[in-house]
Structure 1
Amino acid sequence: MNEIRVIGDAEVAAVGLGAMPLSIEGRPDEGRAIATIHAALDAGVTLIDTADSYHWHAGEEGHNELLVARALAAYGGDVSGVLVATKGGRGRPGDGSWTVNGDPRHLRRAAKGSLKRLGVDAIGLYQLHKPDPAVPFAESVGALRDLLDEGDIRMAGISNVDEDQIREAYDVLGGRLASVQNRFSPAVRDSAPELRLCDELGVAFLPWSPLGGISRSALDAEGPAARTPFHDVARERGVSPQRVALAWHLSLSDRVVPIPGSTRPESIRDSAAAASLTLTEEELTILGGV
């Protein structure tokens, strides 16, 4: 299996880190959060996904971006090859809800804020977090195009989109669409058409919540109803079902770069190891495709 994937003009390790759980409800203390990011880097992870809206309480905008920036600054090794992907266009007022704002003026301000919090000259990958039904999609993507042209971001992506929106964004960006980040997992495969389109266009596909439907407790549960085929393959291989799930993701296309979330060093180390797990054709048949 190819352990290196390409996003735009950047090479990254095949498995990234979704940093959201380190800042939202039930988040770990900062010491463990930073230890988790450092464990990811130690394991060879070179893509970290964040967003300005990944926080818990009101007034914490950018909590996750600041956390990622502090972790990278405190890491003892070379981080020059780490791609930090962030997103704009959503908000959290502090009551547990999520809002959406795709106004181009807001997106430009949001990108400037992310740029400052991450402490970089240009954001490696900036993504529209979610289409805003109150704003023409082309206008929201146009803000990303302008940010690209002005050098504030190196690459542009979109998230939570359908096939038509992918094609529209590709056109608005003049073929410079680097990534699509949609929900996709063993349990939720309804973004399969979007994955196939990304493969056709040469665009990276970043599944969020890639471990959906895979429970650790089910591995040792009694009775077949408690387990999935992923647990059965994991039992035969002597690895975690999460590792099998991520290896399955990677088998679907060389454009796939899953970004599992983690709040513990041991979890992200296990996830990163999926890049070196090659599933057999028989196993892939059991797990199903898209």
Structure 2
Amino acid sequence: METKKLGKTDVKISEIGLGAMPMSLQSRPPESEAIQVIHKALDLGVTLIDTADSYCKDESDKHHSERLLAKALKQYNGDTSNITIATKGGLMRPQGSWTRNGNPVHLRETIRLSFESLGGEKPITLWQYHSPDPDYSIEAALTPAKEAVEQGMIRYIGVSNFSVAQIKQAQDFVEIVSVQNQYNPWHRNPEFDGVLEYCEQENLTFFPWSPLGGSRRHSNLEDIPVIANLAKEKGVSVYQIVLAWLRAKSDCILPIPGASKPSSIESSVAAAKVELSEAEVEQIDQKVAT
């Protein structure tokens, strides 16, 4: 698989990554099957896996995804030296819900636990502040991450669910290499709120979360005629068309589709070979949500 650089760094990552969230939520597959998914992704050339401390069932299960990835990498027979795990911190899972927590005390502790959950032997390549908490300044919330870089627990810092103004605030305090915001056919805000343009301008990698619309919407892609027709014409799946559309929107975009079975990541990786013309991208743009 082709690679891209992570922001302005020299770290090379696969042009399509693996989103680990489906393998750790309430409906997650058995651990052995999840490890098969991760191993299949590695076999196919995926070198970026996106996770978070909050990818779990609830607070008692915190850091499940990170521990799972560490175990899967340890059991893998091939070379894992080029694998980048990008994790996040700043969301809580009380009783399975999602709440923000930008308290520096909490973030300092969860960074340490993420580092340990991922093996504790080498720095976390990319740690991302999961979502800005209005109760704490961006500088205060990113202070623990800055400290962790100095301590050797983190190499690079990214942000998630940030506006352009918030990204700039973060950049005034620390070096930012990536942005992860929602982006899919039903949610095209990054095209219109300036975030995508700013990432291109600043050479920041943009990770679109929920690229296929999430579990509630991805099954509806067949109902979007322009996507269904293009998939039929090219002999590929509707999911591959959407991933190709996202990749065609900007060179800074690197999709991270989730998977909970090997066939899903196989399909996602195959999307790297699907090419859309400017006219085809425009067809989709005109027919999906703005």
Fold match (TM-score > 0.5):
yes
| Partner in structure 2 of residue 243 of structure 1 | 240
In structure 1, how many angstroms separate the alpha carbons of the residues matched to 2:163 and 2:14?
26
* Matched letter for residue 121 of structure 1: K
CA contact (8 A) 1:65 1:117 kept: yes
Any idea what the Cα deviations from partners look like across 1:45-77, whole Å, max 9, x if unmatched? 111011111111441111110001111111111
> Do 2:59 and 2:96's aligned partners in 1 also have CA atoms closer than 8 Å?
no
- Alignment partners' CA distance in 2, 1:212 and 1:109: 32
Measured in 2, the distance between the counterparts of 1:166 and 1:136 equals 12
TM normalised by structure 2 equals 0.92
Residue deviations 1:248-271, cap 9 Å, x none?
A: 111111111111111110011110
**Residue 3 of structure 2 corresponds to which residue in structure 1?**
4
User: Equivalents in 2 of 1:39, 1:260: separation in Å?
Assistant: 14
Distance in 2 between residues matched to 1:134 and 1:170, nearest whole Å: 19
Counterparts of 2:99 and 2:218, CA distance in 1: 29
How far apart, CA to CA, are the structure 2 residues paired with 1:18 and 1:237? 25
The alpha-carbon deviation at position 143 of structure 1 amounts to 2.4
CA distance in 2, matches of 1:281, 1:258: 19
Q: Distance in 1 between matches of 2:220 and 2:256?
A: 21
Query: Which residue in the other structure is 1:287 paired with?
Result: 284
Q: Which residue of 1 aligns with 2:41?
A: 40
Q: CA deviation at 1:99?
A: 1.9
For 1:116-127, list aligned pairs within 5 A: 116-119=116-119, 120-127=121-128
Q: Which 4+ stretches in 1 moved above 6 angstroms?
A: none
Q: Which residue is equivalent to 2:114?
A: 114
| Contact 1:138-1:172 within 8 A present in 2 as well | yes
Partner of 1:257: 254
**What amino acid does structure 1 have at the position aligned with 2:89?**
G
Tell me, in whole angstroms, the C-alpha distance in 2 between the residues paired with 1:202 and 1:66.
Answer: 31
For residue 167 of structure 2, what is the aligned residue in structure 1?
Answer: 166
Contact 2:111 2:145 in 1 (8 A): no
**Structure 2 partner of 1:271:** 268
Structure 1 unmatched runs, 5+: 220-225
Cα distance in structure 1, aligned partners of 2:27 and 2:182: 21
Q: Distance in 2 between matches of 1:121 and 1:63?
A: 19
Distance (Å, rounded) in 2 between the aligned partners of 1:177 and 1:194? 14
| Runs of 5+ unmatched residues, structure 2 | none
Partner of 1:105: 105
Q: CA RMSD in A?
A: 1.7
Residue 27 of structure 2 aligns with which residue?
26
Find the counterpart in structure 2 of residue 179 from structure 1.
178
- Work out the percentage of aligned pairs sharing the same amino acid: 42
For residues 228 and 73 of structure 2, the distance between their equivalents in structure 1, rounded to whole angstroms, comes to 34
Alignment partners' CA distance in 2, 1:183 and 1:215: 14
More displaced 10-residue stretch of structure 1: 16-25 or 273-282? 273-282
Q: Is the 8 A contact 2:58 2:97 kept in 1?
A: no
TM, length-normalised to structure 1? 0.92
Asked whether the equivalents of residues 128 and 159 of structure 1 are also in contact (C-alpha less than 8 Å), the reply is: yes
User: Which amino acid in 2 is paired with 1:273?
Assistant: A
Distance 1:103 1:49 in 2: 23
**Whole-Å Cα distance in 1 between the matches of residues 225 and 84 of structure 2?**
33
